[in-house]
Amino acid sequence: MSAVSRTAILLTLSSASLFAPCALSQDAFKTFKQLDSTAKMPKLNAFSGTTARTAPAARDVMLEAKLTADGAPMQTGLTWRVFSPNPGADGKLPLIATSEGGAAHLQLAPGDYFVNVAFGRAGITKRLSVPENGEIKKQSFVLDAGGLVLNAVAGSDQRVPVNKLRFSIYSVDAREDGERALVMANVKPNTIVRLNTGTYHVVSEYGDINASVRADIQVEAGKLTEATLQHRAAQITLKLVSQEGGEAIADTAWSVLTAGGDVVSESVSAFTTMVLAEGDYTAVARNKDKIYQRDFTVESGKNADVEVLMKEQQATDVDAD
């Protein structure tokens, strides 16, 4: 197993209450004067309602993000989320504001917040305090992130069909249970995956049987890492035929066994196509009341058709259940 990688610079393109006084009529005023003048009137503040406090005005807050400390601000691909630091009834931090694209221009009331900026799978969260007065400087976030593009070949240089290839990306360090944390699954070839800087464990699967390879790959800040993994496998098509080069016989049940006798694939069809890791195998074909078989070898990068002949010396009667 080997991994071939090269790096290039990742390019980004340009994210109060008001109280009105009541007017008294002249008659009401006269009635008021006829009240017992010996009674002591309460002080004025005893009749005053609670004074409404005007909420502080929202303030302009500018946010920007860079891949590296000395890099240019990113113009696209960012997702901003602003949260209150106080959990809600559900125990989660309430989402206050969002923005997508490049730099974000937000209106936030004075107070404390948590700000998260995400660039694909890369991201960072910082605490932000918005004062009631004074200058608010532009907030700059350094993502320390890069990109990863994955591909694979079979043998030395045979390009693997993209519809038969998928990748999974894991953290390189194992958790307490001994398993690596999954970062991203079912990654397609030639897809840019944005990740925080670091080393990742990549698993490449060719087909869905037993052809897989692994490699640890380094992602660098501000760079696009392209990695090509090498599979030692090939695509094999099995046919049951009455003569060499003949038509495939329909209604055939197939089993493929390793040299050790383990079953790696089972199917029912006139012919079956699969990807197998290099090695020795046995193809077993069951048609009606007969079983036919043939040993074959898979060579890395060499796709092949394997014909199983319907010869009497190859046939075995099927035991009745």
- The tens digit of pLDDT for each residue in 198-232 reads 999 999 999 999 999 999 999 999 999 999 999 99
Q: Are 181 and 171 in contact (CB under 8 A)?
A: yes
How confident is the model over 6-32, as a mean pLDDT? Answer: 32
Query: Sorting pLDDT into bands at 50, 70 and 90, what band is 46?
Result: very low
User: In this predicted structure, what is the pLDDT of residue 295?
Assistant: 96
Query: Sorting pLDDT into bands at 50, 70 and 90, what band is 45?
Result: very low
Architecture per CATH, domain 234-317, reads as Sandwich (2.60)
How confident is the model over 58-68, as a mean pLDDT? Answer: 95
The yes-or-no answer to whether 58-143 and 145-231 have a common fold is: yes
Query: Sorting pLDDT into bands at 50, 70 and 90, what band is 34?
Result: very low
Two tokens, residue 262: 């383990």
pTM: 0.74
Residue 27 has pLDDT above 60, yes or no: no
Residue 22 has pLDDT above 50, yes or no: no
How confident is the model over 127-143, as a mean pLDDT? Answer: 94
Name the least confident of 137-141, 178-182, 213-217, 224-228. Answer: 178-182
How confident is the model over 85-107, as a mean pLDDT? Answer: 94
User: In this predicted structure, what is the pLDDT of residue 52?
Assistant: 53
User: In this predicted structure, what is the pLDDT of residue 170?
Assistant: 97
Name the least confident of 162-166, 174-178, 272-276, 291-295. Answer: 174-178
Residue 168 has pLDDT above 50, yes or no: yes
Query: Sorting pLDDT into bands at 50, 70 and 90, what band is 31?
Result: very low
User: In this predicted structure, what is the pLDDT of residue 156?
Assistant: 87
Q: What residue ranges do the domains of the chain occupy?
A: 58-143, 145-231, 234-317
How confident is the model over 185-192, as a mean pLDDT? Answer: 96
User: In this predicted structure, what is the pLDDT of residue 4?
Assistant: 38
Q: Are 252 and 286 in contact (CB under 8 A)?
A: yes
Residue 7: C-alpha distances to residues 120, 123, 159, 227 (Å):
19, 21, 20, 9
User: In this predicted structure, what is the pLDDT of residue 53?
Assistant: 61
Residue 76 has pLDDT above 90, yes or no: yes
Q: Which numeric CATH code is attached to 145-231? A: 2.60.40.1110
State how far the Cα of 172 lies from the Cα of 150, in Å rounded to an integer. Answer: 17
Two tokens, residue 97: 């504001």
Give the per-residue SS3 of 38-83: CCCCCCHHHCCCCCCCCCCCCEEEEEEEECCCCCCCCCCCEEEEEE
State how far the Cα of 194 lies from the Cα of 224, in Å rounded to an integer. Answer: 9
User: In this predicted structure, what is the pLDDT of residue 177?
Assistant: 85
Q: Which residue has the higher pLDDT, 43 or 242?
A: 242
Residue 25 has pLDDT above 50, yes or no: no
How confident is the model over 136-142, as a mean pLDDT? Answer: 95
Q: Are 111 and 37 in contact (CB under 8 A)?
A: no
User: In this predicted structure, what is the pLDDT of residue 105?
Assistant: 95
How confident is the model over 290-310, as a mean pLDDT? Answer: 95
User: In this predicted structure, what is the pLDDT of residue 209?
Assistant: 96
Name the least confident of 7-16, 102-111, 245-254, 273-282. Answer: 7-16
How confident is the model over 266-290, as a mean pLDDT? Answer: 94
User: In this predicted structure, what is the pLDDT of residue 66?
Assistant: 96
Q: Which numeric CATH code is attached to 58-143? A: 2.60.40.1120
